[in-house]
Amino acid sequence: MLKLYYSPGACALASHVALEESGAPYEAVRIDLGKGEHKTPAYLAINPAGVTPALETERGVITQNAAILGFIAQTRPQQNLAPVGDPYRMARFNAFNGYLASSLHPAIGKALFSRPALEGEARADAVEVALTRLQLIEDSLLEGPWVMGDAYTLADGYLMVFERWARAADLLDSARFARLNGHLDRTQERAAVQRVLAAEGLEVA
C-alpha cells in the first residue's frame, strides 16, 4: 500500500489531498517537524533530504509534491486528476506545479517561516516578493475557476496550501487577490479536502 509521510499543515498537504482525491488505498504517517522527526536516521533513510512529503510506493520512494501529484494522477487516470494523455496540457500542469515548487513556496516560506523570523525591512522585502509571485497566479496562471480551467486537478490542492498560509498571515487581501480567495474557498469545500484537513487536525482557513 502507498505510504505518505506528511507534516500537518505543511506542503505535504498537497500530496495528502491528492491521495484522498484519487481514492487509492494509502497510509498517512505523521512526521513532527517541531520534534525533529524529519532528521532521524529512520526518516533520512526514506528521504535523505530530510523534508516531507515522501511517498513510499511498491517500486521505491517518490519525493517532491510536483512529482507525487503527477504519479498519483497517472496511476489513477480514470479519476481525471490531471490532463494525462494530452502532452501539451500535461506540460502546462507540470509547469504550474513547478512554479509553485520553485518560485512561490520558497518566497512564502522565507517571508513567513524563516528561523529566526524576519523583522522590519527584511520581512517587508520578503513579503513583497511573495505577493508578487501570488500576483502572477492571480493575473495569469490561474485559468479559472480551477488552475487548469473548468476541471479540478491536483494542482488545485497544491495551490491551496500556499493560499492557506497566505490567508492565515493576512496576506491574501480579498480585493487584490479576488480570484485566489474564491479558489481557496472552492477548494476547501471539497469533501476530500475536508477529510484531509480533519485528519491533519487543521481548520478551514
Residue 101 engages ligand GSH in binding (rule: CB under 6 A): yes
47 binds ligand GSH (CB under 6 A): no
Taking residues 6 to 45 in sequence order and writing x for each that binds ligand GSH by CB under 6 A, - otherwise, the string is -x--xx---------------------x----x-------
Contact 97, 69 (CB under 8 A): yes
Task: Establish if 90 lies at the interface with ligand GSH (CB under 6 A).
Answer: no
* Distance of closest approach, residue 52 Cβ to ligand GSH, in angstroms: 4
Window 58-87: contact mask with ligand GSH (x via CB under 6 A): ------xx----------------------
* Residue 159 contacts ligand GSH per CB under 6 A: no
Residue with cell 492565515: 168
- The minimum distance between CB 152 and ligand GSH, in angstroms, equals 20
Amino acid at position 55, single letter: L
Residue 97 within binding range of ligand GSH, rule CB under 6 A? no
In 3D space, the residue among 84, 187, 176, 105 whose CA is nearest the CA of residue 145 turns out to be 187
CB of 43 to ligand GSH, least distance (A): 10
Nearest CA to 185 among 148, 154, 146, 153? 146
Asked if 148 is part of the footprint of ligand GSH (rule: CB under 6 A), the reply reads no
Q: Is 134 in the site for ligand GSH (CB under 6 A)?
A: no
Rounded least distance, CB 96 to ligand GSH, Å:
13
Query: Given candidates 19, 28, 51, 154, which one binds ligand GSH under the rule CB under 6 A?
Result: 51
* Residue 79 identity (one-letter amino acid): Q
Q: How far is the CB of 31 from ligand GSH (least distance, A)?
A: 8
Residues contacting 21, CB < 8 A, separation 6+: 79, 81, 152, 154, 157, 190, 192
Contact 15, 192 (CB under 8 A): no
Binding site for ligand GSH (CB under 6 A): 7, 10-11, 33, 38, 50-53, 64-65, 101, 105
